[in-house]
Amino acid sequence: MCGRVTLTLDKQMIQEILGDVFNVSNTPALENTPNYNIAPTNDLLSIIQTNDTYRAGQLKWGFVPTWAKNESVGYTLINARSETVDTKQTFKDSFQTKRCILLADSFYEWKREKAKRPFRFQTTDQPLIPFAGIYSQFIRKDGSKLFTCSILTCEPNEMMSTIHNRMPVILNPDTSKIWLNNTSDLSLLKSLCVPYSDDLMTMYEVSSYVNSVKHNSIKCIEPIEEQQILF
């Protein structure tokens, strides 16, 4: 699964990437950047396509279907399996018509041993990682709208498999645009949901400090070896 990410890049760099890759000029407010520990229920920087235009915004992490009785269901729907996203009642409508790109510059995963060990993953070819996502619009009882999202996952590459049995679906500039297009070719979309190349990723262990969502400082991303030397 993918349950924690970061967005630590300089705001200007984020704006430049959004402009260069997606031709986005309406960069949303980034007051919470840098953010070293983005968790479910927090907002994720996102890209959606409206007609032929890409728009940037924020989507709450934790998918709430349009038909949900209670928005708290989002706590359990932070990921959607790519293998079944087109058939599962919860996700299939959004997979067909409400796909998005969810952006971060790294993500964490935990190796389950006697004590869970956290690792940080980054891509070497893209400073801003485009995750394949889906989103939904939920109408609350008071009439207000809640926009939520989920990150798709797939089988792990060899690097990830040493830590976890799933990984987020990572796209590139070209496949991101295919993902966002208003295509009805679901088989084409599913063909994009493959493990990202090991050769384009790095990982290192961080301390259990990141385990708590209350912690949000540069210490979250420091390699554990450096912390052991310091302390």
**113: annotated active-site residue:** no
Q: How many whole angstroms from its chain centre is CA 166?
A: 13
3 state DSSP class of 149:
strand
Helix axes 11-22, 173-180, angle to 10 degrees: 70
CA distance 97 to 216: 34
Q: Which of 16, 100, 109, 149 is catalytic?
A: 109
What is the spatial distance between Cα 63 and Cα 132, in angstroms, rounded to a whole number? 14
Catalytic-residue membership of 149: no
For residue 44, count other CB atoms closer than 10 A to its CB. 25
Q: Where are the beta strands (DSSP E) in 62-200?
A: 79-81, 99-104, 106-111, 117-123, 129-139, 145-154, 167-168
Non-local (6+) Cβ contacts of 197 within 8 A are: 157
Q: Which of 2, 149, 154, 220 is catalytic?
A: 2
CB 57 within 8 A of CB 25: no
Residues acting as catalytic residues = 2, 109
